[in-house]
Chain A
Amino acid sequence: MSDIIRRDPRKEWIARNRLHPEHLEVLAELGGGASPSEWMGPNGLTRRNPHAVGFIGPNGIKRIDRSGAQQAANQPGSRQAQPKDTRRRVEIETPAFMVAVVPDLPGGRLSSHDRDLLGLARQLADADAERPGAVLAVIFGEHKESVFGEAGVDRLLHMDGEEFSGYLPEVRIAALQSVERELAPRYWLLPDSPLGGAELGRRLAVRLGERPATQVWQVEADADSDTGWRCTARGAAGTSDITRAMPRVALALAECAEPVSETRHAAQPVELTQALPEVLGRIEDMGEVAVDPASVALAEAEFILSAGNGVKDWDGYHHAAQVLGATEGASRVAVDDGFMPRDRQVGATGTWVSARVYVAVGISGAIQHLQGIQSCDKVVAINLNEGCDMVKRADLAVIGDAGEILAALVARIERYREQQQENRDAA
C-alpha cells in the first residue's frame, strides 16, 4: 500500500454530519464497521471522538483496550505504518585499515558480549569518516548466525573444517597468525569471557608479541596517546581501573560499547590466499565429559527442564529430565506444594537462570517467573492453555497434556540414542 494519505473531504464531511442521510454508510466505510474514534480533520489535524473508543465487553461493560491492538484493526485501510527497516546500509569498498574481532559464538550464535565487542570495533573503525576502517570477524567452525551484517561486520572470514570443531587452541592461534600475516589488522579485539575468548586472546597476544589490555570496559578517543585511543581496564581482581593507551590487542568485557543498531553492513566473505599451516597440537581434546546435570547450579545450567503446576506425573517428569540430561527447575507453585526443593525455584524470588534452552512444562508464565528467564535464549513451552503468557514468550509452544508430551519426548530420545548407538557399533 502506498503511504500517501488520500482523503475524500466530502465523505469526511458526511462522517461528521450525523444528520446526513448517508452518514451511517460513510461511517461504516471509513471506520471499517465500528464508528470511528479517530479520523483526519479538514485541516489535517487528527480528530477524536472519545465516546466511540472501546467496545462493549461480554458482560455488557464498555472496555477500552489501550494497547492499541484493537484500534489498529479499525484504522481505515490499515494505514498503520509497517515497522520499516530504517537502518542505513554501509559498504566499505576500500578500507583504510582493518579491525579484527574474534567472537565467541557460543552455541553458534553471536552472544550479546560479541555484539558489544563488534560495537566497539565499529567505534574504532568509523572514527574517521574520511578513511573508514572495516570490521573483520574471524569465526571458526560451524555457526547458525545469519545477521553478521546487522551486528556490524564488514568482512567475514569463516574458517570451516574438521580441525576447528573441537578445542584446539594451538590450531586456532596458527590460523589467526595467518590472518595477521595476510590482512594485518590494526586492532585485534576479543571478548574477555570464560567461553574461550579470554584464553584465545591471551594466547594470540603473546604469540604476536603484543602486550594486550585485558578486561577493557571503556575506550575513548585521546589525541595524546600514540594510537589515538585510550582504554580503561579493570585490574587487581576488579578493584582498580587502569587507564592506558589502547594497545593493538584488547580483551574487552561485556558492555564495553553499544551494539550496532543503526547501520547494516555487508558481511562480505573473505578468504585467506594461502593454505593454513599444519600444526602439531600438544593438547589433545578428548571431548566433553558427561556431568551429572543435577550437580550443576541452576543459574549456570545450560539446559533446564522446568516444572510447574501443570505437571501431574512427577516420576515421569524426573525421568524425562534424566533422559534429556537437563537440569531441573521449578515454578514457585511446584516448590510451595512440596514437589521440588526450594533451590530449584526459577524466578524473581528464586534463581535468575541463563540457560540456552529452557523448557517450561505446565508453567503459566507469571511475570515473577518470566523475570527469571529473561536471559534465556530459546524457550519451549508445553502447556494446555494456548493463551497463557509462557506460550507468548516461547519460541516453540506445544499445546497438549504435559505428561503425554514428555512421555512421547522420552520415547523419541530413547529411539535417537539407540540409533546413535547402532551407528557407533556399525562404525
Chain B
Amino acid sequence: MPHNAKSSDNAGLNVAVLVSVGRHPLTARARRADQDARAVEMALTLSGAAVRLVHASVDDSDNEAALRSYLGMGIGEVNLIKQASGADVVPALVTSLRDMAPQLVLTGTRAETGEGSGLVPYLLSEALGWPVISGLAAVESIEQGVATVLQALPRGKRRRLRVRLPAIATVDSSAPAARQSAFGPARRGEFDTYACASVMDELQAKWQVQPARKRPKRLKIVKSSSARDRFKAAAAKAESGGGQLLSDVSPEQGAEAIFALLKEEGVLR
C-alpha cells in the first residue's frame, strides 16, 4: 500500500467513520453495509490514526449483530446515538461530530436501507462547514492538516486531490474491499450509547414506499412513414454511417488522421 510509507506520522489523527446497518441484496438480512465497511477498512489502514465508529440508531433490536460485525474488524467500540424511530439523524450526527472534532470523517456513498439518497455527507458538510469529497479511493498522505487523496472516477480512473482538514469523504465500491469480521472481537466489542434529542423527519412520513417495481424496458421506436425504413431499422446490420474512409493513403497519412481523432477526443495523455 503506498500510503503506509508515509502514514507513520498519522499519530494524533482522529478519524470518525459513520456506519450504518446494511441489507444483503439477496437474502435481505441485516449486515454491515458494504461501502461503510470499506470506509472502516480505509480508516484502519491509516496506521496510527485513532478510529471511532459512529452510528445513529433509530431502532437496533435486530441490528446489533450487523453493528457488531464492524467491531469484528478490530475496533473496540461503536458510539451509538439513540434516536426515536422516524427521526432525521443528521442533526444528531452534527452535534456529536462537533463534540468529537475528528479531522477526517469517512462515510459510505449511499445507505442500503431507507431513502438511501446519499445526502448525509453533503448535509453534514454544509452544517459543519467542512469540505466534502466523493468517491475516495485511497489516502496518500496527511501532512500539516492537508490530506492528499485519490478520488475514484468512472472507467477506473483516479484523480489526485488535496483537501484541507477537517473534511468529509465518501467511500464507494472502488475503494479496497473490507477485511473479514472476526467473531471474537465482534463479541467482545462494546457499544457506547448516549441519547440525543431527536428531530423528526416529517417529509418522509408522507412518502409512499413499496418494493421496487421493474422498470419498463425502453423500446426502440423508429419514427418513419415507410414500411421499408421500419424494416431496415428493425433488421439493421452495419450500414455505412457516413464515416470517413481513407483508402490509398500512406501509413503516415492514416496514422496522422487517427492521431488527430484521438487528440480531439482527448484520450491521449
Contact = CB atoms under 8 A, between A and B. Distances in A.
A398 interface: yes
B268 A107 contact: no
Contacts of A217: 215
A396 interface: yes
A397 B135 CA distance: 38
A397 B244 contact: yes
A291 interface: yes
Interface stretch (B71-79, B99-107, B182-190, B205-213): B205-213
A108 B266 CA distance: 10
A56 to B, nearest CB: 24
B233 interface: no
Interface string B258-269: 110111111111
Interface in B69-103: none
A211 B247 contact: no
A34 interface: no
B239 to A, nearest CB: 6
Interface in B139-158: 148, 150-151, 153-158
Contacts of A286: 148, 159-162
A206 B121 CA distance: 10
Given A286-B160, A356-B267, A394 B243 contact: yes
Nearest to B34: A237
Interface residues of A, number: 91
B249 to A, nearest CB: 7
B244 A396 contact: yes
Interface in A242-292: 242-245, 255, 258, 261-262, 282-291
Contact of A285 (B159, B210, B215, B261): B159
13 contacts: A170-B131, A194-B135, A202-B119, A203-B132, A214-B119, A241-B213, A243-B207, A244-B206, A286-B148, A286-B159, A286-B160, A289-B160, A394-B243
State the 8 A-B residue pairs at the shortest beta-carbon distance, nearest first.
A408-B255, A398-B254, A296-B156, A399-B247, A409-B255, A286-B160, A404-B251, A303-B267
Interface of B: 23, 25, 28, 110-119, 122-123, 125-126, 131-135, 148, 150-151, 153-164, 167, 203, 206-213, 215, 218, 223, 228, 232, 237-241, 243-249, 251-252, 254-259, 261-269
